[in-house]
Amino acid sequence: MKKTFLKYGGIIIGGLYGLLMRIILGKDFQIDFAGLFSITFIWLLPIIIGLTPLIFSPKEDLIKFGVRIFRPVLSVLFFFILCLWTGHEDIVCIVIISIPFLIVAGLAGIIFGGIILRYRDRKGILFSIFLIPFISGIIEPAFPSSTQQFETTSTIIINSGKSEIWNNIVRVDTIQEREYKRGLFNFAGIPRPLYAELGRDTIGAVRIGHFEGGLQFQENIIEWDRNDSVAFDIKIIPSTTKKTVFERHVLNSQNFKFLNAKYRLKAISGNRTELSLTTKYELTTKINYYGEFWGTLLLKDFQDRLISVVKNRCEK
């Protein structure tokens, strides 16, 4: 029994500890404490989760290189399962954090496995690592988060005139299931677009974008050049972002904000037109470099699929 616990118990304890920290970091405390968009959560927590099973592993296991890699990774995977099971994360959030969690946990096992082997009899020192995220969570807010703006552009060539394309972008009729090619992110939980309605054809008009699950965006027209370009700022309607963890903690957070989107139409030759869609967004975190990677990846995927719908409709 003891041997079994030493082999697998640390994996379970690591996953449970990770879940506890996920709950704490997801709380809105009255005092300043690191949140989910933090170095503490993204980079430090996976180290502790990964090292936990090694602390409990017997000496004969710790000398094995494979154990130092795979047990930390298994501990992180168990953490993911617990987060999904308890509803603290959904699939798309797990996908987003999976890269640092899995890589950092595996590297931590390789780098620190030897140190744990050396000091494995000094349990007090080893167990003190569980305090590190708490200390980091208190210290990290003392350093300001940077605010940066990013943008991503998708372009497609459509065999149609500008006026036809214009009519399909300023207002979007209901997108049928057969029209929209779902991608990995859609299956992971990102809602697909349904339709967009516009009140008036002019600057200052309000455009409402509707998505699966009831998610809605209010888009105020800030640029209107018929058949050439249209731009609108983007504001999420907060009351519609309560369906998933991703919507609540990413789309409706202070760390991520949509700024605006712009369609441009450029005649090429004959009846061919280049359509581009550019979206700008803002991040305010201490991990903007990582947020930009996923923000651009997710938006580019969305834009590519949306303008493909426009192309197919205009070329019928």
Identity of the residue numbered 211: F
- pLDDT at position 121: 63
Rounded Cα–Cα distance for residues 292 and 282 (Å):
9
Count up the domains in the chain and report the number.
2
**Half-sphere exposure of residue 304, counting CA atoms within 13 Å on the CB side?**
11
Domain shared by 154 and 251, yes or no: yes
Do 233 and 115 lie in one domain? The reply is: no
Q: What is the mean pLDDT of residues 11-22?
A: 96
Q: What is the CATH number of the domain that holds 279?
A: 3.30.530.20
Domain boundary among 123, 142, 161: 142
Please give the Cα distance from 239 to 63 (Å, whole number): 54
Helical pair 45-56 and 91-118, crossing angle rounded to 10 deg: 50
Domain shared by 170 and 118, yes or no = no
Interval 6-35 mean pLDDT: 88
| Same-domain pairing of 37 and 166 | no
Model pLDDT for residues 189-227, shown as the tens digit of each residue: 888 999 999 989 999 999 999 999 889 999 999 999 999
Q: Measured between alpha carbons, how far is residue 141 from residues 40, 132, 306 in Å?
A: 10, 15, 38
Do 60 and 122 fall into the same domain?
yes
Is residue 14 predicted with pLDDT exceeding 70? yes
* pLDDT digit string, tens, across residues 55-69: 888 888 888 889 999
Whether 240 and 108 map to the same domain: the answer is no
> What DSSP state is assigned to residue 249?
I
- Note whether 200 and 83 are same-domain residues: no
Same domain (yes/no): 83, 98: yes
Per-residue pLDDT at 88 exceeds 90: yes
The verdict on 200 and 172 lying in the same domain is yes
Which pLDDT does position 201 carry in this prediction? 93
Q: Which domain holds residue 269?
A: 148-314
Domain stops at, among 76, 110, 142 = 142
Q: Give yes or no: residues 58 and 117 share one domain.
A: yes
Where among 89, 110, 142 does a domain terminate?
142
Closest by Cα among 43, 50, 55, 57 to 127 = 55
> Above 80 in pLDDT, residue 171?
yes
For residue 96, the model assigns a pLDDT of 94
In this predicted structure, which of 33-42, 181-190, 290-299, 306-315 has the lowest mean pLDDT?
A: 181-190
pLDDT of residue 122: 66
Please say if the pLDDT value at position 299 is more than 80.
yes
Q: What are the pLDDT digits (tens) for 219-267?
A: 999 999 999 999 999 998 888 877 778 887 787 778 999 999 999 999 9
